[in-house]
Structure 1
Amino acid sequence: MRAQLARVDAVFVQALIAAALSFAHLHDIASAAGQDGWKAWAYPISVDLLLVAAWRRLRTGDAKASGWCWFVIALTASLGANVATAGLLDLGDVPAWLRILVAGWPAVAFLGGTLLAHTTTLPATNDIEAADVHEDAPEPPPEMPAQPAIEAPPNRPTVPVPAALIEHARKVAAEHHTRTGTPIDTPTLRARLGVPAPMAEAIAAQL
């Protein structure tokens, strides 16, 4: 537990020292570029806040391109100030382009902070397409009521027909066909034989 606390404290102290040095370098650059008083102290706060906002956007996983863009801009401003104060730049005679960059930084930081804080995440394209397909899908047709099953007519009982009667009916049918040229129908056969309708139908089926 103590080792872990010592490690955390060491990291915290190192981060605090690095932040203080970077803060001081940014203040010196802003002051040398003509931003005196409280304005010189506001510049390092602006750079560090933009850096933190960009890093937070990268950690959330949304709009990483925007997060990386503003993270690089803020990191370039911080590193540039650190390198410039290492003796590579005469702080007593700051070039005009640096004064322009320092003077224009508030607008850049305001734009970056606003975009990072208020950029809304759009839903995924696949989700939109799936929603459109779901909305455009035609409604299924209404189910038709089931039709009642049609019962087959009951089979009529087979009427026994004597063989002699069938033979006689064949002669009658042959005579009718010879005389009229057409097959004999059941009503005519019934009338000629003088039998009930069921028996006439049974005889006609066997002709």
Structure 2
Amino acid sequence: MPNRRATAALAAGAALVTIALTAAAFWLSYEHLHDIAGGNGLSGSRAWAWPATVDLFIVTGELLVLRASLRQTTDWWAIALAALGSVGSVALNISGVGAGASVLAYVVAAVPPTAALVAFGALMRQVHEVLDRISDAPAPKVQPHPDEQPEQAAPGPAAPAAPVGPHSALELHLAPMLSASPEVTADAHLSAPAPAAPPTPAADRTDDELIEAARALATTGPLSLRRMQRELGIGQARAQRIRDAVDNTPAPASEEAAS
């Protein structure tokens, strides 16, 4: 319990620091872009609105990437939006310094948009991990209401008891045990079921076998990377490769007919 509380406290502290870092980096980048807009013909509300056309691409792209990861898909359009906003923000912040400035001035201008991108990506990763744990948690069991009694089968007619008289006795008829014939023992030996083979280790299973196992898991719940690593006993890189193959490979005809 103390370790769990310490882990939760550290996770909350990291989230707060990441949120503060993201807000500060976006504010610095936004202010610099506002100054650039004011020095290039925009004023008032237009100068304040212009930086949003650049920095908000990063926020939109990161949120769409998070949504795609929760849906177990890859949204290249969202990745392109985040990359476009990040490259544009860094380029505009650096170009706003002007020609002939020192190298340190360019570095100072490039730090806020770069930090905003990295910090916001770290924040989205923490949110994704929390949502992933929630989706992997088992569903709570529904307890029956105390007033509801389980249905019981109606009692059938009781079998009549055998009469017990004063002179009744328990009679045992023991027939002599015959030795089993060789044919019977041979048939019984041949018909005995073979012992079940031990499960194949994950390292010895092919990708095709793991893809079939992953498809079977997908029919019982969300096919997250954590669940695949736990259920199939494979690493994160192989779990990502197997899940991509499941997403990009059509299911066999037998499975489509069954569904």
Rg larger for: 1
Structure with a larger share of its residues in helix: 1
TMscore range, shorter length: 0.3 to 0.5
The alignment's TM-score, normalised by the length of structure 1, stands at: 0.39
The alignment's TM-score, normalised by the length of structure 2, stands at: 0.32
